């Protein structure tokens, strides 16, 4: 069994909102603290933007040598220390285990939590609380209990209203994005025609982790064929996809960004996995699929054109960190929809800029001291906190700016 801990941190796990007051408490075992020579316990709130660029140089010569240099820059966002217990001023007659509550205010204009690391570039916007048990003596390392947490900016009143409208069933204006193209299966012969249209709410910004309604329509027209050709070949070119999981249909979210280290800017880009709706091959059952009855348009002579269409309706869910632009780091999103019909270059594609907001308000300020013996409830009247996907490397704290190397 692991050794019992003198300090236990109690701090609920969920996304926090910039401007709210963090609340929690520690359990402090006074007997174990005395055995471990802990004289003081404080809690530290930290937030920072950390950028790192890896540079490799190769020395000429018969035995080529490579030298790696790391350029790391830290930009502090929040720093707050609070003493929770001090042996020198503690009253007598305390129970063996005491609870020390804390309240730590987050600044209102913090950027959202973020992590990107690939090849030569790493950027992290991270937040933490750390409980430090100070031990007297050079050879007595301080005891530390660390907790990484995530933060999103508070949504504006307009963003909150649109989030509520989407959750209740969007009845506002819609914005279609359409592309039409002539295509053909081989190098020669008549052209067919394909049209693709994505319809989303006409909004400049979408809330994260909320079911945003969409409709995706794909219409096709064959080249001139005989009417019976469709009976002979139901997949007569160009056939619309049968499900949103078809390999020919691709819906991706891309993130493009910029980071700055000591005045030098670097750009990055990555592809993200959509979850729970359009673009998630494991969530096709949540998308309603309907087909138009094929219709034949007779042309002069014995041939005509077969018209077919498929319609996908459902939800688009983006659980990624909200869009952000700052001096040292920025990132934005693009939704890419691509339909790849058989043949050379028969691709319909459009890229739609997508701005993401948190969709949540800042919780109200506490009206009373934190009650550690009362079950914690999330303070937002609008419901539970949003879900936000962050890579495991964010939660590891590897790229967080801890104070341990400074002896704090």
Could you please state the CATH topology (level 3) that the domain comprising 7-154+361-406 is classified under. Immunoglobulin-like (2.60.40)
What is residue 379's predicted lDDT score, i.e. its pLDDT?
Answer: 55
Global pTM value: 0.88
Secondary structure of the chain: what % helix, strand, coil (to 5)? 10, 50, 40
Q: What is the DSSP string of 104-130?
A: EEPPTTPPPPEEEEETTEEEEEEEEEE
The helix (H) or strand (E) run that includes residue 336 is: strand 329-340
What confidence score (pLDDT) does residue 360 get? 93
Would you state the pLDDT for residue 407?
54
Q: Which three-class secondary structure state does DSSP give residue 163?
A: helix
Under 8 Å between Cβ of 116 and 148: no
pLDDT tens by residue, the chain, 408 residues: 345 689 999 998 889 999 999 999 999 999 999 999 999 999 999 999 999 988 776 666 655 566 667 788 999 999 999 999 999 998 888 999 999 999 999 999 999 999 999 878 899 999 999 999 999 877 788 999 999 999 999 999 999 999 999 999 999 999 999 999 999 998 888 999 999 999 999 999 999 989 999 999 999 999 999 999 999 998 999 999 999 888 899 999 999 999 998 888 999 999 998 877 778 888 888 899 999 999 999 998 899 999 999 999 999 999 999 999 999 999 999 999 999 999 999 999 999 999 999 999 998 888 776 666 665 555 555 556 678 999 999 999 888 877 655 456
Strand partners, 266: 259
Question: Can you say whether the dihedral through the CA atoms of 204, 205, 210, 214 is positive or negative?
Answer: positive
Q: Can 7-154+361-406 and 157-357 be said to share one CATH topology?
A: yes
Residue 403 neighbours by CB distance under 10 Å: 15
Fold topology of 157-357: Immunoglobulin-like (2.60.40)
Question: CB within 8 A of 165, min separation 6: which ones?
Answer: 171, 172
Tell me how far apart the alpha carbons of residues 32 and 49 are, in angstroms, rounded to a whole number.
36
Query: What's the pLDDT at 3?
Result: 55
How many CA within 13 A on the CB side of residue 73?
A: 14
Closest CA to 166 of 214, 212, 208, 198: 212
Domain boundary assignment for the chain: 7-154+361-406, 157-357
| The pLDDT of residue 260 | 92
DSSP states along 5-60: PSEEEE---S-EETTPEEEEEEEEEHHHHHHTTEEEEEEEEEEEEEEEEEEEEEE-
């Amino acid at each position: 069994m692991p050794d019992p801990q003198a300090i236990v941190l109690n701090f609920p796990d969920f996304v926090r909102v910039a401007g709210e007051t963090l609340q929690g408490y520690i359990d402090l075992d006074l007997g174990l603290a005395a055995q471990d020579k802990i004289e003081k316990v404080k809690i530290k709130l930290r937030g920072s933007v950390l950028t790192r660029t890896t540079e490799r140089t190769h020395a000429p010569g018969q035995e080529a040598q490579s030298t790696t240099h790391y350029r790391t820059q830290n930009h502090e966002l929040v720093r707050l220390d609070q003493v929770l217990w001090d042996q020198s001023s503690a009253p007598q007659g305390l129970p063996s285990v005491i609870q020390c509550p804390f309240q730590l205010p987050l600044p209102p204009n913090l950027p959202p939590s973020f992590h990107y690391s690939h090849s030569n570039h790493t950027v992290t916007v991270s937040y933490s609380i750390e409980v430090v048990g100070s031990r007297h003596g050079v050879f007595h390392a301080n005891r530390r209990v660390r907790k990484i947490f995530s933060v999103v900016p508070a949504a504006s009143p307009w963003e909150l209203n649109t989030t509520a409208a989407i959750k209740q069933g969007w009845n506002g204006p819609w914005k279609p994005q359409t592309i039409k193209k002539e295509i053909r299966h081989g190098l020669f012969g008549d052209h067919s025609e394909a049209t693709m249209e994505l319809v989303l709410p006409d909004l400049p910004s979408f809330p994260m982790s909320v079911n945003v309604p969409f409709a995706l329509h794909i219409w096709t027209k064959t080249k001139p064929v005989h009417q019976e050709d469709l009976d002979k070949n139901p997949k007569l070119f160009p056939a619309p996809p049968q499900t949103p999981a078809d390999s020919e249909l691709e819906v991706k979210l891309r993130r493009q960004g910029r980071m700055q280290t000591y005045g030098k800017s670097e750009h990055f880009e990555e592809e993200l996995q959509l979850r729970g709706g359009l673009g998630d091959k494991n969530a096709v059952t949540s998308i309603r699929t309907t087909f138009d009855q094929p219709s034949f348009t007779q042309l002069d002579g014995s041939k005509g054109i077969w018209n077919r269409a498929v319609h996908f309706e459902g939800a688009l869910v983006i659980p990624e960190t909200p869009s952000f632009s700052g001096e040292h780091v920025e990132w934005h999103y693009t939704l890419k929809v691509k339909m790849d019909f058989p043949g050379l270059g028969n691709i319909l594609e459009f890229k739609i800029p997508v701005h993401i907001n948190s969709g949540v308000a800042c919780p109200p300020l506490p009206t009373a001291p934190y009650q550690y013996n009362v079950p914690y409830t999330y303070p937002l009247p609008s419901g539970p906190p949003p879900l936000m996907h962050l890579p495991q490397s964010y939660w590891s704290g590897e790229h967080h700016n801890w104070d341990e190397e400074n002896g704090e």
